[in-house]
């Protein structure tokens, strides 16, 4: 009987705690969400105002990995180089922290499968992402089609 009573007391206490904390947590969550959206909107505006008029509409991130370095430098980089900001993940210690390409990369790339990555920006439209990490994992297993398909999709957008 005491076990049931303590379960009931615990669940009642949890319910009260949620009721007390909800008015504090919900506004903080809404503020964080709106700040994140505002940050992304400001970055889009900066890209549209500073990059696009100069003919720069691509962000390419790659590394010196033996899995994809040669392919990226011979097949992808020539497609985008004149219109791209290029970041080498292997040299990230030397990246200036407050440069716009680095801030855009950190905001848009996410935490997974961000290398190699191509982000294509268009005026007043959402960015298009081309993540090459998984296709290169498939290439390691002998499947060449995903890498070529990703490159062809990128080529079609450019």
pTM above 0.85, yes or no: no
pLDDT tens digits, 31-76: 989 998 999 999 999 999 999 999 999 999 999 999 999 999 999 9
- Contacts of 41 by beta carbon, 8 Å cutoff, 6+ apart: none
Whether residue 124 is contained in a domain is answered as yes
Flag whether 85 is in a domain.
yes
Say how many domains are in the chain.
Answer: 1
Domain that holds residue 123: 55-157
Residue 105 maps to a domain: yes
Establish if 35 belongs to a structural domain: no
- The answer as to whether 5 is a domain residue is no
The pairing of strands 128-131 and 117-120 is antiparallel
49 in a domain, yes or no? Answer: no
User: Would you call 117 exposed, middle or buried from its count of C-beta atoms within 10 A (0-12, 13-18, 19+)?
Assistant: buried
CATH number, domain containing residue 103: 3.40.30
């Amino acid at each position: 009987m005491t076990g049931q009573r303590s379960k009931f007391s615990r669940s009642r206490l949890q319910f009260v705690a949620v009721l007390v904390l909800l008015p504090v947590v919900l506004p903080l969550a809404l503020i964080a969400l709106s700040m994140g959206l505002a940050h992304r909107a400001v970055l889009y505006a900066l890209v549209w105002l500073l990059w696009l008029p100069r003919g720069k509409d691509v962000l390419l991130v790659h590394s010196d990995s033996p899995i994809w370095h040669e392919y990226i430098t011979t097949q992808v980089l020539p497609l985008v180089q004149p219109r791209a900001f290029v970041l080498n993940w292997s040299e990230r210690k030397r990246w200036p922290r407050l440069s716009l390409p680095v801030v855009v990369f950190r905001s848009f790339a996410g935490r997974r499968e961000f290398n190699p990555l191509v982000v294509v920006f268009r005026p007043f439209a959402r960015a298009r992402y081309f993540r090459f990490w998984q296709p290169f994992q498939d290439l390691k297993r002998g499947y060449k089609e995903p890498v070529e398909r990703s490159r062809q999709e990128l080529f079609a957008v450019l």
